[in-house]
Homo-oligomer: A and B are copies of this chain.
Amino acid sequence: MNAHIGVIRVLTSDDASTVAAHGRVIEERYGIPAVSRCIPGQPHGIHDDESERRAEPKIVALARELAADGAGTLVISCAADPALERTREAVDVPVIGAGSAAAAVALGLGSRVGVLGIRDEAPPAVRAVLGERFAGEARARGVHRTTDLQAPEGPAAVLEAAARLVEAGADTLLLACTGLNTIGIRPLLEDRLGVPVVDPVLAAGLMASYTRS
A residues at B contact (CB < 8 Å): 29, 85, 88, 94, 96, 100-101, 103-105, 107-111, 128-129, 131-132, 171, 196, 198, 202-204, 206-207, 209-211, 213
B residues less than 8 Å from A213 (CB atoms): 29, 202
B residues less than 8 Å from A132 (CB atoms): 128
B residues less than 8 Å from A104 (CB atoms): 104-105, 107-108
How many copies of the polypeptide does the oligomer hold?
2
* Least CB distance, A208 to chain B, in whole angstroms: 9
Q: Which of B111, B129, B203, B210 contacts A203 (CB 8 A)?
A: B210
CA of A129 to CA of B134 in the docked complex: distance in angstroms?
Answer: 12
Which of A94, A104, A129, A202 has the most B CB atoms < 10 Å from its CB? A104
Could you list 29 examples of A-B contacts with CB < 8 Å?
A: A29-B213, A88-B110, A94-B109, A94-B196, A96-B108, A100-B108, A101-B108, A103-B107, A104-B104, A104-B107, A104-B108, A105-B207, A105-B210, A107-B107, A108-B203, A108-B207, A108-B210, A109-B207, A109-B210, A128-B131, A128-B132, A129-B131, A131-B131, A196-B210, A198-B210, A202-B210, A202-B213, A206-B206, A206-B209
Question: Would you call the interface of chain A mostly helix, strand, loop, or mixed?
Answer: helix
Query: Which 6 interchain pairs have the tightest Cβ spacing?
Result: A104-B104, A108-B207, A104-B108, A101-B108, A104-B107, A131-B131
Q: Are B211 and A109 within 8 A (Cβ)?
A: yes
Using A206-B210, A210-B202 as known contacts, say yes or no to A109 and B96 having CB atoms under 8 A apart. Answer: yes
B residues less than 8 Å from A96 (CB atoms): 108-109
CA of A108 to CA of B198 in the docked complex: distance in angstroms?
Answer: 14
B residues less than 8 Å from A111 (CB atoms): 85, 88
Known: A198-B210, A202-B213. 16 other contacts (CB 8 A): A29-B213, A88-B110, A88-B111, A88-B171, A94-B110, A100-B108, A103-B107, A105-B108, A107-B129, A108-B203, A109-B207, A109-B210, A109-B211, A128-B132, A129-B131, A196-B211
